[in-house]
Structure 1
Amino acid sequence: MTMPNFLVIGVAKAGTTSLHAYLNQHPQIAMSQIKEPDFFEYGEVDQPPPASSAPYPYAIQTLTTYQALFADLPTTALHGEASPSNFEARACERISRYLPNAKFICILRQPVDRAYSAFAMHTKRGKEPETDFCRAYQDSARRWQKRFEGHLPAYACRNAAWYVERLQDWLARFPRQQLHISLYDDLKDDPVTFVRKVYAFLEVDDSFTPNVSQIYNQGAGIRSTSVNQFVRQNNRVKQWIRPWLPQPLRQKITRWLTNLNQVPLPPLDPSLRNELTRPQHDDILRLQDIVGRDLSNWLAK
């Protein structure tokens, strides 16, 4: 049975895509070609998900298909994958049964900053119905409960209490030495040192220097909502030109328009960040005790 030796378990919008790429550079590590199989949270494993998995059509659904992701990887290398959904309760329980001896890598990011990045990503993809980030964040608890009913994307707008709850679940199921908890701030400030610490945790050569010049899946904003909707959604103009343009050319035009319409993500208003962070003060301190790191820069100023 071919299964991974380790998992990047999240969290979303905290550098997991970059880490997947940096780990894959190491000669003693081989990552799955599909970065996010989402198997343990949305696959059937031994029973259907708690609700329809239709919002996640790309999730690997069967154990056989999941194992095939690792079957052709070098047998001398450690195998891993990086699904942020692995952090969730259903995934954690199933991982504890299927991979009891694996190692797990978690990256945590200041909750409001992470949510803002997720909000911008879903807006850019045309999947965020709310135009105001503050409203989306404050409504995140309800939207999380309704996430299978149309896949409201602001589910990513979670708070520090969620981190605490999820980590307590993981630490109840696994020894602390199997879990490497790190911070997005460290990845952003010194990515080489950050990745080398992960190498050491995985017990591979930590003197290897990864190429971290490219930041993957970086947050971005959009110039024009109209252009973004045109690119993302089906419409009469696209239906009319489709028969006249070959698919490679259509894809090239789509990428060009997407890049042209993309702008750096505007910084989050500090006063709004404080407003949304302040109610999480006690939970951030609880989290600080769990991870053993100073999180004072996460608190409201």
Structure 2
Amino acid sequence: MRYGAIALKGDVRSTTETLGRTFPTAIADIKCTLHSPVLSGAGSDTSSENVMSPFANLWPDINWWGHYSAGSSEVAIKTFGVSVDDNCPLTTLRDISEGIQAWENRLVGWLSVLADGPMELIGDHHAEVSWEDLVASEESGRMYFGSSRTVSLPKVVTADQWVYALLQTGSNVDAPLYRVLLVEAERAIASSRWRSAVVDAAAATEVAISKALSQELSQWNPAPATEAILKRVRMLGPMVSFAREVGLVIPERIQADLIDMRNRVMHQGFPAGKEEAVEVCRLAREVIDGLLPFSQVGSCP
């Protein structure tokens, strides 16, 4: 096997059960395996505070891999090991480097959704991938994994969530758009961008209601008929009315607190504040969780 390391340039808070695990994924449609770091010693010795390389003799720098406090149930992971087939040519390694940005964007989307909140992306760093047999060569200077940024998660990512996110990412499957937009809205609130929060939360709600309607109608109609019906109720207001007609449950206050607020912000330039943005996001989450609920792992719609 050819071994490398993906330095994320930021900490991803994860449960300690994530340590010492391998995760299948694909980058630029190239199958590879991610290796999470281990704790010094047996790799599961939670009395140790040193987060180490999963590869015994490669990149032993302790601080490079992550941080752990003795007795904690979580660990901050900064770097993952990566392995590909030993016969993997340099051209394939370049393909991985060129495809890493799209891979990273999908991974950020899935982790944000599964962690139930935004991963803050701060700064603009290059996440370098180092290959053990290319050090100091002309090629090694070109091996970069796109742009990575400091990551902060509102909830700790479990090992099962890593598995699910990496499998979906490696299969080029994006996280559900309505949940990604909701995360964007919450990220906007975190950075005091109230107008953006209102617009993104309303968009998330619209996409979710459309998705729920499509699922409901497809039970009784062929796909062309379902698409024709949905084209007639493209605006959010009429869509909400029609959704109620077919039996979907949507809060009554959505018109005043979300639709009207979105329209005022978008069409009248209303300077929404924190209170309005928080309420719109709260209502959007209520609608989405009610129409399209999902368990944390394995059944994301």
Q: Does TM, normalized by the shorter one, top 0.5? A: no
Q: Higher relative contact order at CA 8 Å, sep ≥6: structure 1 or structure 2?
A: 1
Which TM class, normalised by the smaller chain length? under 0.3
| More strand, by proportion | 2
Larger radius of gyration: 2
> TM-score, length-normalised on structure 2?
0.24
